[in-house]
Structure 1
Amino acid sequence: MIHVSATPVLALRGISKRFGAVQALTDVTLEIHPGEVVALVGDNGAGKSTLVKTISGVHPVDDGAIEWEGRAVRISKPHDAQELGVATVYQDLALCDNLDVVANLFLGNETRTAGVLDEIAMEKRAKELLDTLSIRIPSVRIPVAALSGGQRQVVAIARALIGDPKIVILDEPTAALGVEQTAQVLDLVERLRERGLGVILISHNMADVQAVADRVAVLRLGRNNGVFDVEGTSHEEIIAAITGASDNAVTRRQARTDKVKKEVGA
């Protein structure tokens, strides 16, 4: 893990958010450092999506403070988050199937020379970006519709990097992917870390989380329910924090395995 600075890029301090009578988040704290992958996990309705939308400016917070590189900031709209350096890749990817890879990468950020679209400059930059991220696609000029699920996902992540963000939020990036495509996306997450970016990875897949995350932040019923270092934490401990119960099928199976090992070793 690259800790460029002891100061987190992003720190949430006591964040609360309510929608009418529903308290979606209560006193949530989270820190993201440069070159660190933090997995945000929790059951459906735990508050993950709401928290991400507060960071990305979709839902302004009701209470609490947001700090960016040690100073207090206000994020009240998506533009505020983008200006700071937050890029979010949502599950729907929002790619235009009929446009090629270059056009998708620069959508809304087109390069112009003397008022005219500079296709050559954009194609060159697209190839350089995909190369530095080791993203392999047949051509930057093929329509996105012709790409596989994994390739579409990495193109969406690459597009998020066009504005040189410091934090990238990935919402369930491997949810609809097969084994090989998942590996491709997780490789890219590791390269984002190597570039010194802070990554927030929302995932239900514990294997993915344990493969690439440095820390796991658990939300339960809109509150913090533990932050775990991946290296020193078992799958069972994280599941227990997510479900709020230490007794479930996963922990019982682990207990049986431990018992058998003990008996065999005895």
Structure 2
Amino acid sequence: MANLTLQSTYILASGFRIPVVGFGVYQTARAATEAVVLKAFETGYRHVDSARAYRNEGPTADAIKKSGIPRSDLFFTTKIRTSEMGYGPSKRALESSFKETGLDYFDLVLIHAPYGGREARLGTWRALVEAQKAGKIRSIGVSNYGVHHLEELDEYIKSGGGGEISVGQWEIHPWLAREDIVDWCRKHNVVVEAYSPLVQGVRANEPVLTALTKKYNKSFAQVLVRWSLQKGLVPLPKTATHSRVGPNIDIFDFELNEEDMKMLETGEYAPVCWDPVKSFD
């Protein structure tokens, strides 16, 4: 763990590599996205997480093209939104995303949430597998799936549906550790991404964080991103404030010890975002 850097990567089930930290652009205004993503690239990020629902795929891609960094060194994620579930709608969504971004391929496409029912979920997966086989998408995965949704998809894949779940993305932090989901993913070679790793700042003054920030002379954000990294997750810290882009990932010069990590085992289940994992449709 101590040897990781911002340029370190994990190998996915697809055979491609994913950087160990990504830059999130959820709720980043379209007009502000290009500049802040360029700032992230200047800081050292090589991984950016967008989505069709965020309405900023285009300016994110513009930053990729204007960065001067080889496309092969950058990792771009987008997601199929809930209103586009099903084989046909998802194929059209992908076509729209390629037109919007002007990119030749996407590094990762996720199903944003498990809504719409079994037929729609598996239809969307089939569209992603087809695009992957055509070389338009390198890796595919899911977001906000419960274990029951993961089992459904795993059964479909094993019965001939094709593809592999390379990545799963969830809201994960010390107040929402999702140990059942993370354990499932570990057993099935699925890399786990953590969105809202900073808990949107609402836990900044928790006594446990205050103690650790003083101990390591680090911000609450740095402690939380470090926690995520040490859990083997791929954290996706988000900020639209340029001055915070670099500090948020100044996390490679310290390590939380075992006692610190235990202090952050809260046992709480307290989402700050939506929670589609509970869906049973």
TM range (shorter): 0.3 to 0.5
Q: Return the TM-score normalized by structure 2.
A: 0.36
- Higher relative contact order, chain-length normalized (CA < 8 Å, sep 6+): 1
Bigger-Rg structure (1/2):
1
Greater strand share, structure number? 1
Greater helix share, structure number? 2
Q: Return the TM-score normalized by structure 1.
A: 0.37
